[in-house]
């Protein structure tokens, strides 16, 4: 299963080209409203996926474009892997945002924890 680092996603967003990905934020609506990546779309199926129920996401596949890469965002990136796997099985070009919204925020703030996490990603 594939993933994308926050800095790589930022580069793709800033490029302004047609290959800009569709940002699918699966977190609960309240989390999305509190902090989200600009231009992302909220499909709040996090709780269901965390419990192993894929039906909520399957019921909303019509909201996700098939002609663009999809980057799945959750809190830390763990539950997004389930969504990414389901989307890939359905024929989508989907990847998980490494570190989720926590990673994105750390990247935006250039936090020490993000920099340390990036070093670990390089090792594994």
Phi, psi of 111 (to 5 degrees): -75, 155
Cβ atoms of 71 and 21 within 8 Å: the answer is yes
**CB neighbour class for 1 (10 Å; exposed up to 12, middle 13-18, buried from 19):** exposed
Over the stretch 60-119, which tens digit does the pLDDT of each residue have?
Answer: 999 999 999 999 999 999 999 999 999 999 999 999 999 999 999 999 998 888 888 888
pTM recorded for the entire structure = 0.91
d(CA 102, CA 98): 9
Residue 1 in this model has a pLDDT that exceeds 70: no
Over the stretch 34-62, which tens digit does the pLDDT of each residue have?
Answer: 999 999 999 999 999 999 999 999 999 99
For the chain, the domain total comes to 1
- Nearest C-alpha neighbor of 98 from the set 114, 79, 116, 76: 76
Cβ atoms of 38 and 45 within 8 Å: the answer is no
Pairing of strands 3-4, 41-42: unpaired
Beta bridge partners of 22: 70
pLDDT of residue 43: 98
**Residue found under tokens 């070009």:** 93
46 to 32, 79, 113: CA distances (angstroms): 11, 7, 24
Average pLDDT, the chain: 93
Over the stretch 5-14, which tens digit does the pLDDT of each residue have?
Answer: 999 999 999 8
Q: Give the domain range for residue 113.
A: 3-123
d(CA 92, CA 121): 25
CATH number of the domain within which 75 lies? 3.40.250.10
pLDDT band at 20 (very low <50, low <70, confident <90, very high): confident
Residue 18 in this model has a pLDDT that exceeds 80: no
């Amino acid at each position: 299963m594939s993933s994308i680092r926050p800095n790589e996603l930022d580069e793709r967003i800033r490029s302004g080209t047609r290959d800009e990905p569709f940002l699918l934020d699966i977190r609960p609506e309240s989390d999305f409203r509190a902090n989200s990546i600009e231009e992302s779309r909220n499909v709040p199926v996090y709780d269901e996926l965390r419990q192993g129920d894929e039906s909520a996401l399957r019921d909303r596949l019509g909201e996700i474009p098939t002609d663009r890469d999809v980057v799945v965002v959750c809190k830390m990136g763990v539950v997004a892997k389930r969504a990414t796997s389901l989307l890939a099985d359905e024929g989508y070009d989907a990847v998980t945002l490494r570190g989720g919204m926590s990673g994105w925020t750390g990247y935006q703030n250039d936090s020490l924890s993000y920099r340390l996490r990036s070093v670990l990603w390089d090792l594994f």
